[in-house]
Chains A and B, each alone.
Chain A
Amino acid sequence: MEEGKKLWVSSSPHIRSGLTTQKIMLDVLIALLPAFGVSIYVFGLPALLITIICVCTCVLTEYVIEVLKKKPITISDLSACVTGVLIAFNLPVQAPWWMCIIGSVFAIAIVKQLFGGIGHNFLNPALAGRAFLLASWPTRMTGTSFIPVDAMTEATPLGILKQGLDAPLPSNMDMFLGFPGVYGAIGEISAVALIIGGLYLIIRGIISWRIPTFYLLTVAIMAFAFGEDVIFQLCAGGLMLGAFFMATDYVSSPSTPIGQIIFAVGCGLLTMIIRKFGGYPEGVSYSILLMNCAAPLIQKYTQPRVYGKPKKKGEAVNEG
């Protein structure tokens, strides 16, 4: 070997998988495309504008704060884009531009960056942003929704149900498909589009099947127990968006298999309790946020048995 030629030395392993944070986030964005398509189809240009404003604000906020904190710029990991799209998907179509900006800045600056940036937020930033807007401007967030086909109505399907309004409920099929005209936040109206995106993420191994499956299952069982229309409850509101894209946020959900199941069941129970007994017609956001707070504790108490450790105290490893 030539003199002076240097060899790289490092601790094993010496190879790394091709998976990167950026690729994961790109997959999430791809998975959100069907729902995005439906929102553009149903709501048109305003939906596109809301999404663009939210995404740009999120990315810019992340950039500015990282510059201020003198930290490496991480906007290329696309996580801020995902947050932006998710905030937009949680907004009603008539949300004014400044609400888009305030929600996005709150999500990235306060919930994500203030706690240390990617991987350190204890809440889902997009949901926290939505909750912040909901608490600040409740009527603008829930009061009216848009039916492009025939008329304006005063409430979402869950709102009609909650307030006992004398308005026609959409059929379950309309709720499932989300078009040609169901009411709700721009990204949550089409259950089928969100399911397609969610399945894509599960097949790609980006999210675990446990959280969406047990979340939806719990809601279905609770709906049945409360004597509600199960399909309606599954397709209504932000449930599909929440179950596949919000509750599965890595940072704010447990990583242990049993922990994920407990987390998802908790989300499902809270969602239906809020829908049935709470002051709000919809409970997905708050139930996920509440379970986010419980996630570290769930994680702590659901650690799997380590290989070679006794199954129960005092028991031999290879018995039973």
Chain B
Amino acid sequence: MNQVTFKGGSHPPQFKELTKNKPVKVAEAPKEVVIPMSMHIGAPCKPLVKRNDHVYIGQKIGEEQGFVSVPIHASVSGTVKAVEERQHPNGNLVMSVIIENDGLDEFDPNIEVPPDYTTMEPQEIINHIKDYGIVGIGGATFPTHVKLTIPEDKTVDTVILNGAECEPYITCDDTLMQENPELVIQGLKIIMKAIGVDKGYIGIEDNKPEAISIMTDAASNEPNITVVPLKTKYPQGAEKQLITAVTGREVPSGGLPADAGVVVNNVGTAAQIAKSFNTGIPFYEKLVTVTGEAVSEPQTLSVRLGTPFQEAIDQAGGFKKEPGKIISGGPMMGVAQFTTEVPVIKSTSGILCFDEEQAQLPEPTDCIKCGKCVEVCPIRLQPFQMSAFALQNDWDECEALNVMDCIECGSCSFVCPAKRPLLSSFRTAKRSIAKRGKK
């Protein structure tokens, strides 16, 4: 097997054995779901329902606003209890529709199975993808229909599905590829048809040999689709690193994958597209790896969107010890939560529960300029130098050292022997520089 990768990177411990190769458990639908009107990058949706309205699964409850926006649908049938601001996993209060589940799981009667995608025009496919509320579920929640609408001045010849899943602990993509390889392949074919390309790749880190072999079998009758085993190394699943590993191309600084002739989608996004095209039912449930040392029965669950974290954790047996930190996503790039009331949204890949001991990070000491951060940076930045300037609020020097190219993978902070908060200083620098640029 030809194994490809990128330069730099690190090897954080995997911790995937907690949930690896355990079958997906379909979680019981919660009594109440909290559906934020913003589960994508772009303008939030306008709520279409009000208190006491009855809704069905798949019914549109949030109207998209503008091009970079997707509609939002109900994930349970029942009664709207409130439309109000609730805590969102991104840390903000966001207008949300709270639905009381009637337990009947009735689907919207207006749902129709669409015609076979092979008979559709590309634009029709893209419109359907938008109507199904599909966004990139790998993390960025960029609306998929926008990604698939290639600007006229760009030529895309390759689609890559991201099955790298380089975040420690998280195994939902691995599980998906093992259980539903046909959905992944079908989704990839729909995407390829939508943008009119005939080269499709599925990149998978080689710590998932089962997924690689199952996906390779599933793709054996597809001459245009190649499964690419990738070296297990963080951040192999970062978009730019994946593109470089698979195609040898680089995304220009400040540019998009399309500038390198590539469109990247998560395997989960592809499977969701296939599911919606097969049933006509919009995006309403997803796979979430509930894991970590504080969880009784770590496993990958299929949960309804809007399920509160606490509910999902309870479905995984609840806490076996006092949790110290709850992270939405993986330990390298996930977002720490201050409450378990936040809901599962379209990009929630995992709910990681650390115990008290793991929750506490070591105190930083002085930088010894060992250069470990330089070695691991997948963008070839000089993190220790940038951080010294960032801590003095010297944004000009930070910008000159290309801090804006930082992909925030966290490899530098992870390896640092002095335990310095390198990435968080870059986040501050990037935000300040972006703000300054707007003035």
Contact = CB atoms under 8 A, between A and B. Distances in A.
Interface in A131-152: none
B367 interface: yes
Nearest to B360: A8
Interface stretch (B46-54, B126-134, B183-191, B323-331): B323-331
Given A24-B417, A304-B380, A308-B240, A12 B423 contact: yes
Interface string B380-423: 11101000000000000000001001001010011111110101
A255 B381 CA distance: 11
B374 interface: yes
A19 B252 contact: no
B410 to A, nearest CB: 3
A21 interface: yes
A307 interface: yes
A193 to B, nearest CB: 24
A306 interface: yes
Nearest to B381: A306
A5 B359 CA distance: 14
B250 A16 contact: no
B338 A15 contact: no
Contact of A307 (B253, B324, B331): B253
Contacts of B352: 14
Contact of A12 (B254, B255, B332, B368): B332
Contact of B374 (A19, A118, A255): A255
B42 interface: no
Interface string A102-117: 0000000000000001
A74 B419 contact: no
A24 B416 CA distance: 11
A306 B402 contact: yes
A248 to B, nearest CB: 10
Contacts of A304: 380
Given A17-B12, A308-B255, A9 B370 contact: no
A119 B423 contact: no
B226 interface: no
Contacts of A305: 380
Contacts of B414: 13, 15-17
A9 B374 contact: no
A278 to B, nearest CB: 30
Contacts of B327: 12, 14
B339 interface: yes
A94 interface: no
Interface in A290-320: 303-310, 316-318
Contact of A10 (B10, B361, B366, B378): B361
Contacts of A174: none
Give the secondary structure class of B's interface.
loop
Interface of A is mostly: loop
Contacts of B277: none
A178 to B, nearest CB: 29
Given A16-B413, A306-B402, A77 B421 contact: no
Nearest to B370: A250
A45 to B, nearest CB: 34
A80 to B, nearest CB: 13
B260 interface: yes
Nearest to A310: B252
Contact of B333 (A13, A16, A79, A307): A13
A21 B12 contact: no
Contacts of A16: 361-362, 413-414, 416, 419
A9 B336 contact: yes
Nearest to B356: A8
A50 B254 CA distance: 57
A310 B254 CA distance: 12
B250 A13 contact: no
A11 B427 contact: yes
B369 interface: yes
Interface residues on B, range: 35 or more
Contacts of B421: 11
B337 A7 contact: yes
B249 interface: yes
B196 interface: no
A119 B423 CA distance: 19
Contacts of B354: 8, 14
Contact of A255 (B333, B340, B382): B382
A307 B240 contact: yes
B419 A20 contact: yes
Given A74-B365, A250-B370, A14 B424 contact: no
A79 to B, nearest CB: 8
A74 B366 contact: yes
Contacts of A7: 323-326, 336-339, 359
A307 B409 CA distance: 14
A14 B255 contact: no
A308 B370 CA distance: 25
A17 B375 CA distance: 14
Contacts of A310: 252
A119 B367 CA distance: 6
Contacts of B405: 306-309
B381 A21 contact: no
Closest 3 CB pairs of A and B: A13-B410, A255-B371, A308-B253
Interface of A: 1, 5, 7-17, 19-21, 23-24, 74, 77, 79, 117-120, 208, 250-251, 255-256, 303-310, 316-318
25 contacts: A7-B338, A7-B359, A9-B337, A11-B423, A12-B327, A12-B336, A13-B333, A13-B413, A14-B327, A14-B332, A15-B358, A16-B419, A21-B368, A21-B417, A23-B417, A118-B366, A119-B418, A208-B371, A251-B369, A256-B374, A306-B253, A306-B380, A307-B378, A307-B380, A318-B250
Given A17-B417, A24-B417, 4 more contacts: A20-B419, A255-B370, A307-B244, A308-B252
Interface of B: 10, 12-13, 168, 240, 244, 249-255, 260, 310, 322-327, 331-340, 352, 354, 358-362, 365-372, 374, 378-382, 384, 402, 405, 408, 410, 413-419, 421, 423-424, 427
